[in-house]
Amino acid sequence: MPHHDLVVLGAGTGNALIDDRFSHLDVAFVAEGPFGGTCLNAGCIPSKMLAVTAEVADAVREAGRHNVRATLDGVSWPAVQERVFGRLDAVARDGEKSRRAADSVTVYRGRARFTGERELLVETEDGTSSVTADRFVVAAGGRPAVPPVVADSGLPYETSDTVMRLDEVPERLVVLGGGYIAAELAHVFHSAGASVTLVEKQDRLLAEQDESIASAFTDIVRRVHDLRLGRELVRMEGRPGELRLTLDDGSVIEADTLLVAVGRTPNSDRLDLDRAGITCDDDGLIEVDAQLRTSADGVWALGDITPGPPLKHVANREGEVVAHNLLHPDAPRSMSYDVVPAAVFASPEIAQVGLTEQDAREQGREYVTGSRRYEDVAYGWALEETRGFCKVLADRASGRLLGAHVLGPQAATLIQPLVLAMTFGLTAREVAERPLWIHPALTEVVENALREVDAAKSK
């Protein structure tokens, strides 16, 4: 039975946390999927490469707004696929190859499950291997959730793990779900030429966003896609390429492809964690303390299999914390989720950090808001942008920022000054007045929203 100093389950962020500092240890990786995990192979990176492609196509279509005469001949989907996945698949292969070449590293390819305390059984194509270690890191991630009505239909469907690798763009794509994955992939495929229908059980898309953002985004997308809001899929019939989807109001949608984007589920149910003494919450997420230790001695966990926000930049920080704690057990670090930004790379782009206005109300906070539209600043004029805005929430008494939300071009970049302000506990006045803000730059929409917050606080 092979024994290692450290075993890492997962080759996404789990792979990234092991660097030269661990060269004195015998380390093993257990990976079922390709190296790089979801982010590299089926998530953050390919979806954003496709989102930028969609933006370019849309820019050509909308060039007339800037008095530019241009026409779009189409999107070469096979060439886009080769550019995106030809690059990313090579990175995944090289990542695994470099690990296998290291003297102190072992790679086990296959599905693993715990058989005891710090003991695994790994099922590979060549058989099974029992593996033990002094310490474990569980970074086994998650997978797309698929509702029974789809899974039990016997008909083909796509998820975010598969849809970006389709050989051709569907003519009629139905997207089940209204969250960020649904919004981003609907944008990608619409821009590539698909007719898109979104089916969402909530009354608005991106319902977890600030109410102003969700309402504005839904109104914008309604002009582009067929929206079926407040509806659920109750029956799936037909045959491959000719699907009939019946909703709970009796309406029927015909499509050649269904994309299921209703959320993700942790892979904890595949690991027999109870045999290792690792406890999970009611959602199947591994319970960890502030130092990311599990209930089992010598076992840490991170990423989408834990209760923290399921975001790659969060997992990266968790990886840094776990790596430090593995190397410096006498001086451990803790993970903080106090200020976690996120972005949706749809059309329009969205970014957020901190509380939504509905959060603030539910918590009974005394707060003020400020907002400014892109069209109120000079660079917004240059963009001919009439939809975008920045909204900021601050504590009424102290002026400290509670949350911020941006909808429009460059949202994921524009939010960052507000992330820094919240991280360092600055007030709206301090952020607006102490630094110089470039004119004319799009950041002025943030500056002016902050000034409006401060003016509201003074009333």
434 forms beta bridges with none
Q: Is the dihedral of CA 10, 12, 13, 18 positive or negative?
A: positive
DSSP string, 321-348: HHHHHHH-TTS------SS--EEE-SSS
Tokens of 104: 């102190």
∠ CA 174-176-181, nearest 5°, is 105
Q: How far apart are CA 431 and CA 426, in angstroms?
A: 7
Whether 413 and 379 have beta carbons less than 8 Å apart is answered as no
| From 24, 66, 328, 439, the catalytic residue | 439
Between the CA of residue 265 and those of 46, 98, 287, 304, what are the distances in Å?
A: 20, 30, 15, 9
Whether 387 and 348 have beta carbons less than 8 Å apart is answered as yes
**439 carries an active-site annotation:** yes
CA atoms within 13 A on the CB side of 230: 2
CA atoms within 13 A on the CB side of 144: 24
Between the CA of residue 391 and those of 183, 204, 237, 416, 449, what are the distances in Å?
A: 21, 19, 44, 14, 6
Between the CA of residue 215 and those of 177, 205, 344, 372, what are the distances in Å?
A: 16, 8, 15, 16
According to DSSP, the β-strands at 172-176 and 257-260 are parallel
The backbone torsions φ and ψ at residue 179, rounded to the nearest 5 degrees and listed phi first, read -90, -165
Q: Is the dihedral of CA 38, 226, 374, 459 positive or negative?
A: negative
Q: Which residue has the tokens 């590293």?
A: 105
Helix, coil or strand: residue 196? strand
- Angle at which helix 211-222 crosses helix 180-191, to 10 degrees, equals 30
∠ CA 150-178-360, nearest 5°, is 135
Catalogue the active-site residues.
439
